Amino acid sequence: MGNPLHERRTAADWAAASQVIEITDKIGDFGELSAIIEADLGALDADKIPADWRDSVVEGRLEFGFADAQQMLPTVIWQARVTVDAVCQRCLQPFRLPLEAEGELLLLAFDQSADGFDDYEVWELQQDQLRPQDIVEELLVMAMPFAAMHTESAACKALSAEEGDNEEEMTTPFAGLREQMAQDN
């Protein structure tokens, strides 16, 4: 039996089977996600690109079911996490960026609507059949920040340099404005 992430079925078929898929695949198995990471890392010198960046493991879970008793509205509860190699947009150095995302999707046909199910994010299906890997991949791509940056100043060379500069002299252009305005009145 193959990997259920790669199988194509209708959303109703996945939900009717109450399919649960445990995810433990490598980033290299996700084409679009890999292409985005590769393009980001392409800004680095070749010797700074981590050789094993495609081997980071995507872990998670997909659980299909129905939102309604009539079994007309397929859903998937999902969670995924991975640590990707990225380039800090401040210091232009590689770093490890953890991505974690979760949610509940209502899988609807393009012309279908579902009022009263506000707890779900609507996912409009472009085709009759879906492949769970496509869901995971798109949601991880959406979880990626527009501009990846170190979160800790100690790790970022650009922030460390700025903090050193700020200690010497800090210019505040409007520092005396309030006093000037008070004197003018």
pLDDT given for residue 7 in this prediction: 94
What does pLDDT average to in each consecutive run of 10 residues of the chain (185 residues)?
87 95 94 94 92 95 95 94 93 92 91 84 89 92 90 74 51 64 71
H or E stretch at 147: none
Backbone angles phi, psi at 137, to 5 degrees: -65, -45
In a domain, residue 109? The reply is yes
pLDDT given for residue 167 in this prediction: 47
By the 10 Å C-beta count (0-12 exposed, 13-18 middle, 19+ buried), 67 is classed as: buried
pLDDT given for residue 163 in this prediction: 54
Domain that holds residue 86: 4-159
Asked if residues 120 and 108 have their Cβ atoms less than 8 Å apart, the reply is no
In a domain, residue 182? The reply is no
Asked if residues 110 and 126 have their Cβ atoms less than 8 Å apart, the reply is yes
- As a whole number of angstroms, the distance between CA 159 and CA 165 comes to 10
pLDDT given for residue 77 in this prediction: 96
**CA 79, 126, 138, 77: dihedral to nearest 10 degrees?**
0
**pTM summary value:** 0.78
pLDDT given for residue 162 in this prediction: 56
Pairing state between β 121-125 and 74-87: unpaired
Number of domains, the chain: 1
